[in-house]
Chain A
Amino acid sequence: MIYRYQTKLLVSIFLASIYFFSVNVDPIVAETPEKKITNGFITNIVTNEENTTIISVTESDGKTSNLKINPETNIGIESVAGERWVSIFSEKPQESITRLKDQQSRLIVLTVVHDGESILSISNADKRDLELNLQYLFIVFMIAWIVFFAYIFYLSRRQNAINRDIKLLKSQPSYEKETK
């Protein structure tokens, strides 16, 4: 009996699990105690007497975080012409500050990965916004499963059609003659 309903049973289990997992997706699991993500624009850049550069990042809700740039901070930002510039702060500190000031003047939203005090990396948000990219993830999984199920459905229909043919043949007297 179970074999008769196996395909329906397995497909139901599979679809139920996709539904269950998709409603439980947490899009900010990237955050860990060591790595926090802040999306916002730069409101201030200062270099103090100890030669430490501190950036103020303001988020859309008005919350401002003052974060320190380390020599190891990775920077990946785009110029006004769309050209991407990638560097480590210690390699080109002056140019890094100039380019970050350019981002500040243009109110560009940046994604800052930090540990609450120091910045690990800073880059243009359009490449790193988790929620922005979710649509691509959704489209890929949705289309892939539609295609796989459509193919399984097509094969099942062909199998059913052939089963009907076999049933019909078996009921004909010529079939008995052929198989004897």
Chain B
Amino acid sequence: MNRSHFPFLLNTLTTISMVFAIWMVFLWVPTETNQGAVQRILYIHVPIAWGAMVSICIVAVASILYLHNRSAKWDRIAVSSAEAGAIFGSMMLFSGMMWARPVWGVFWTGEAKLVTTLILFLLFVAYLMFRNYFPEGIQQKKIAAVIGIIGAIDTPVIYFAANLWERAHPPLVTGPASDGDSLLSGSIELTLFVSAVAFSLLLFSLINLRYSVHKSEDAVNLFYRNSSIESNTL
């Protein structure tokens, strides 16, 4: 496959899977009898939360690789992933609050799962603020990489929080860390899976788009920098 075809292929796959996921969420899967229509928020909330956690893991891995070989490519991947993660993180909190209001009667409770999720969002914000306000250079990239690596520690805490400190948030009912077999019915589990695939592809599309913008900006900035050095030395 030609590398220039990759973004088109990724975007097309994202669109097709997202259209299919929306069809399943609104038309195919039956309404859950206990919560009614509001339960359909699950199909956007869970995949977005998954995307936010994947983002911080990508930030951490890219940061480690950047610290190891100082390649600008890994730094660009970390920044792109952090930006997409901040979008996913904010939507994760928002969709969770919109689900909690009719089901729990409140938008927010101070339990571990919610607080650690808020911390993850604030970590993304802190990472991006640091990148924007700290003077550009190797030092900025190195410190940002360390922030990204520390931020990833929050991910397993969020993932297991509902099982470790059981309160209002539902515990893990599906996936590798759930207790025993999945407690979700077949249609709900399948819809959730398709939605998770669609939102994962959306995440990778956003990271890819941000990465290409970042790469072009770096190339132009490098050209301007070289030109100014040249004109100063003349």
Contacts and interface: CB of A to CB of B under 8 A. Distances in A.
A137 B38 CA distance: 6
Interface in A110-134: 113, 121, 127-134
Interface residues of A, number: 53
Interface string A9-30: 0100110011001101111111
Interface string B23-53: 1001100111111111011001100100000
Interface stretch (A52-60, A97-105, A161-169): A161-169
Nearest to B15: A10
Contacts of B63: none
Interface stretch (A61-69, A87-95, A143-151): A143-151
Contact of A13 (B15, B45, B216): B15
Interface residues of B, number: 48
Contacts of B94: 140, 143-144
A18 B21 CA distance: 11
Main secondary structure of the interface of B (DSSP, over half): helix
Residue from A28, A140, A143, A163 with most neighbouring chain B CB atoms (10 Å) = A140
Main secondary structure of the interface of A (DSSP, over half): helix
B143 interface: no
Contact of A25 (B11, B27, B209, B216): B27
20 contacts: A6-B12, A7-B11, A10-B14, A21-B23, A29-B30, A30-B30, A128-B34, A128-B36, A129-B36, A130-B31, A132-B36, A133-B102, A136-B38, A136-B98, A136-B99, A140-B98, A147-B90, A147-B91, A169-B220, A178-B223
What 4 A-B pairs come out closest when comparing CB atoms? A30-B31, A133-B38, A130-B36, A17-B19
